[in-house]
Structure 1
Amino acid sequence: MIEQIAAKNLLNRVKYNEWFGADYNMNLYRGCCHGCIYCDSRSECYHVEDFDRVRVKAGAAEMLRRELASKRAAGVVGIGAMSDPYNPFERELCVTRAALDAIAEAGFGVSLDTKSALVTRDIGLLERIRDNHSAIVKLTITAAGDALSRQLEPHVCPSSERFSALRALADAGIFCGVLMTPILPFLTDSADNVRGIIRKTAEAGGKFVFSMYGVTLRANQRQYFYDRLDERFPGLSARYRSTFGGSYYCPAPRHDLLKALVQEECRTHGLLWRMPDIIRAYRGGGEQLSLF
């Protein structure tokens, strides 16, 4: 039985809508049970106790309808920044589904982040939202192959199922692509892994690959990450400590070369990679003129 928690409000206005063009951010759940070893949301600064235990915000759909109705103009609602909206409980609770229905009825757009193939259940609602305003779905994929993805993200579907979900979304005409982030130094920063993700994104019909070339580590999150590295990749946490010390941002070695590789591969496969181009393409109907 999932615990319900009270929330004063759901929508938080975004001061600068530079992150995929979202005007508002919203999290319907608190905590996440995917078990991703690198998750930033586990950081102490967010004050989410017992992060692996998922809780749902009580009366979320009704609250969202009221808040949307109070806005003077429609905008894009970002979902999934802190907690995946398609956790295992969502299959029965349908809280995210009800929220998408409210967004569709209000004529707002959506910018959705997930690692779960369950998102395909709501393709019909995403089509409605797209037709009324705009819709973008970002599937986070950090490993081209399933063996590594299962070690990094043990309690969510493997990469192959996420690529299949991307294919289903693309076939329905939903603007979709891949968040290749974080890139983990010494783990997912190989040229083969990067090329594999970009190629499979293109084969699945995705429109973009957006990447950040390293990983951020903060209090609480850092120790959890190092503990998991010790369990699954012996010796790697020591390499992180010697390379990065206590740095917040841990860039992949040769990150400049990786960035150039991403741009080259995206050009080759006809994918967008720049944030302004991605926003323009799904919100403003822009063409992919910046590929070259």
Structure 2
Amino acid sequence: MHYVKAKGIFTSDYGINLYRGCTHGCIYCDSRSEIYQLKHKFEDIEVKENAVELLKKELIRRKPFMVVTGAMTDPYIPIEKRLQHVRKCLELIYRYGYGFSCLTKSDLILRDLDLLKKINEKTKVVVQITLTVANDELCKKIEPNVSQTSKRVEVLERLNENNIPAVVWLSPILPYINDTEQNINSILDWCIDTNVKGVLNLDMGLSMRQGNREYFYKKLDENFPGLKEKYVEEFKDQEFIYGRNYRKLKGIIKNKCQKYKILYKQDDIFNYIHEFPCNSVQLKLI
């Protein structure tokens, strides 16, 4: 872990990244790609030491909107338990009347359930949870240092109990690993049971760009002997790949989501996440 002083806090679409790099160890992580120009070892977390201060300055001067985090780095990586940067930001978001959405694979988010409830009652919260595999043992192989699937399903249950909307990222789909009807149907059944608002699948594909491809292949050799050779033969140097039955799996998602009135189109889901409720009452306490 190392600290940097950031010049700004918001991305062009009002996203924030409190950390750069990750220790979850997910074998497929696109954030390892060279296009993101990370200047340090991926597991050496870069912490923006002045992030909370910068956020406060921005929230004071702007009209409220949905503050979103988790696009590049899961905000609830283990060091967040000690640093509590996310919690401090949530306190500001609540105080100044903004909305909040984050993408995570960690049940550490339940630590902040009290603040999420308060923000959701005042404006809006959408929690995005990634679910890739229904089996916890397989989860340990592809997402080794993060909350297992069963724990994440418990998060969805708690969110549902507290009327906090959730979106599930059913992605990425790894050919010959989690691209089975049984796996997809199991995850969808959990989504239905916990009343999720949307299921996002990003075309059922897997990013294989320079930087993350090498790490992915290394982990395939360690955990799925012989599978790397099958990938190399079938997909060559493609930067985005699809499994043999992705169209059928997309159809399963579409049909179940339509039946249970769950959002499944990418644009609809992102619009829902970023839409700030116009009828919210914001009181800025400076």
Question: Does the alignment reach a TM-score above 0.5?
Answer: yes
- 1:206 counterpart (183, 196, 200): 196
SS at match of 1:178: strand
Q: Report the AA paired with residue 10 of structure 1.
A: I
Deviation at 1:89, TM superposition (A): 1.0
Q: Check conservation: 1:10, 1:64, Cα contact below 8 A.
A: yes
Query: 2:10 matched to 1:11?
Result: yes
SS at match of 1:262: helix
Cα distance in 2 between the residues matched to 1:115 and 1:268: 26
Partner residue in 2 for 1:17: none
Q: Check conservation: 1:143, 1:188, Cα contact below 8 A.
A: yes
SS at match of 2:94: helix
Q: Report the AA paired with residue 131 of structure 1.
A: E
Cα distance in 1 between the residues matched to 2:71 and 2:270: 17
Larger displacement relative to structure 2 (47-56 or 26-35): 47-56
Q: Check conservation: 1:164, 1:204, Cα contact below 8 A.
A: no
Q: Report the AA paired with residue 273 of structure 1.
A: Y
* Pairwise CA RMSD: 1.6
Q: Report the AA paired with residue 5 of structure 1.
A: V
Deviations 1:31-64 (A, max 9, x none): 1000000000011111222001222110211110
Query: 2:165 matched to 1:175?
Result: yes
Counterparts of residues 149-168 of structure 1 (less than 5 Å): 149-168=139-158
Cα distance in 2 between the residues matched to 1:125 and 1:132: 11
Partner residue in 2 for 1:148: 138
- 2:31 counterpart (34, 41, 61): 41
Structure ranking higher on relative contact order (CA contacts 8 Å, 6+ apart) = 2
Deviations 1:221-243 (A, max 9, x none): 10000000011001111111111
Mind listing any 5+ residue stretches in structure 1 that lack a counterpart? 15-23, 286-292
Deviation at 1:27, TM superposition (A): 0.5
Cα distance in 2 between the residues matched to 1:275 and 1:249: 17
Larger displacement relative to structure 2 (177-186 or 269-278): 269-278
Counterparts of residues 73-84 of structure 1 (less than 5 Å): 73-84=63-74
Change (3 A) 1:161 1:44: same
Query: 2:260 matched to 1:261?
Result: no
Partner residue in 2 for 1:86: 76
Deviations 1:176-224 (A, max 9, x none): 1310111111111101100011111222332321112110111111000
Deviations 1:240-284 (A, max 9, x none): 111111111101222221111111122344432123443565647
Counterparts of residues 101-120 of structure 1 (less than 5 Å): 101-120=91-110
Partner residue in 2 for 1:189: 179
Partner residue in 2 for 1:20: none
SS at match of 2:74: coil
Q: Report the AA paired with residue 227 of structure 1.
A: K
Q: Report the AA paired with residue 62 of structure 1.
A: E
Cα distance in 1 between the residues matched to 2:47 and 2:270: 30
Q: Check conservation: 2:67, 2:99, Cα contact below 8 A.
A: yes
Partner residue in 2 for 1:237: 228
Larger displacement relative to structure 2 (38-47 or 49-58): 49-58
SS at match of 2:76: coil
Query: 2:225 matched to 1:226?
Result: no
Partner residue in 2 for 1:19: none
Partner residue in 1 for 2:22: 32
Change (3 A) 1:246 1:211: same
Cα distance in 2 between the residues matched to 1:220 and 1:279: 27
| Identity %, equivalent residues | 36
SS at match of 1:12: coil
Partner residue in 1 for 2:281: none
TM-score by length of 1: 0.89
Q: Check conservation: 2:65, 2:276, Cα contact below 8 A.
A: no
Q: Report the AA paired with residue 7 of structure 1.
A: A
Deviation at 1:12, TM superposition (A): 1.3
TM-score by length of 2: 0.91
Q: Report the AA paired with residue 98 of structure 2.
A: F
Q: Check conservation: 2:19, 2:47, Cα contact below 8 A.
A: yes
SS at match of 2:262: coil
